[in-house]
Amino acid sequence: MAATVPVVDQTPVVKYDGVVQLKPSRDTWYVVMAMGVQDLFPVAPGFDDGVPRAITNPIYVDTDGNGIFDAPGIIPCASPC
């Protein structure tokens, strides 16, 4: 886990409007996950545990700016693979 940002419910619609700064040393990727604290009743009664959650697709970060994403943990192979 790179960062956890607690959110205080201060407004009716926008719950968080800020920047999380991370400084990876090599190409990496992030996903962002948001979780609620109250169930979705009566909109989705009996749905899983009822707590809303959302997750993004991967956000790829090319740290060296060479235009090539070198996936962490993937060992390159000689052509053809």
Question: Over the chain, what HEC string results?
Answer: CCCCCCCCCCCCCCCCCCCCCCCCCCCEEECCEEECCCCCCCCCCCCCCCCCEEECCCEEECCCCCCCCCCCCCCCCCCCC
Q: Which residue has the higher pLDDT, 66 or 17?
A: 66
> Is 71 part of a structural domain of the chain?
no
Domain enclosing residue 56, as ranges: 28-61
What tens digit of pLDDT does each residue of 12-64 get?
777 778 888 899 999 999 999 888 777 777 777 666 677 788 899 999 999 98
In this prediction the pTM is 0.66
| pLDDT recorded at residue 81 | 59
Does residue 39 form part of some domain?
yes
pLDDT on residue 46: 64
- The number of folded domains in the chain is 1
